Copies of this chain bind each other. A is one copy, B any other.
Amino acid sequence: MRASETRRQIVEVADRLFYEIGYEATSFADIARDVGLSRGNFYYHFKTKDEILDAVIERRAATVHALLDTWEDAGESPSDRIRSFVRILVENRTKIMAHGCPVGTLCAELSKLQHAARDDAARLFALFRTWLARQFVALGHEGEADALALHLLMRSQGVAALATAFRDEDFIRREVADMEAWLEARCPAAPSTVSHRPD
């Protein structure tokens, strides 16, 4: 098999295992087994575990970019696009209840390990942050776009964390509906009469 294809498979499997059982808990043997490789051959493709982590983070960044592009194209209005972001919590509820948010849990794990790739993982959050902020700017919230973006990111992280702890699907749906109502209050079509700060 071509090296690039084997490499791609390794990163794909590692991405899944890092998400499902965590970076540290995933061993070379686990990845090799799932790819169908011997442990020895593994090192032809990746010299260290850190290298695989870098490749996985890069892959996730590409996935996030693709996702944001899809929403950008599909959403008629900025608020439709933001709604797409909010709704992934419901769409991915099964995985989230089992393993949390892929970005949030990786960041948390790498932070504790004081891993060098810690900031690279945080940059995945930043992708959502800047994209959301751009949508809020388009909605006319220039001065507070970044704060609103962080607020929404914060909520989605909180929902993911509690959904994992309590495994409560109704809770996810309730909070997503709440985020949509919050968003509705900030659309130019139905402007809030009180304040533009997150509440």
Contacts and interface: CB of A to CB of B under 8 A. Distances in A.
A108 B24 contact: no
Complex copy number for this chain: 2
Interface in A131-168: 147, 150-151, 153-159, 161-162, 164-166
A130 to B, nearest CB: 12
Nearest to A156: B158
Q: Which of A104, A158, A185 has the most CB of B within 10 A?
A: A158
Given A24-B25, A109-B109, A113-B22, A150 B122 contact: no
Contacts of A174: 147
Contacts of A98: 111
Nearest to A124: B165
Contacts of A199: 178, 181-182, 185, 199
A43 interface: no
A111 B162 CA distance: 12
A20 interface: yes
A108 to B, nearest CB: 6
A46 interface: no
A107 interface: yes
A83 interface: no
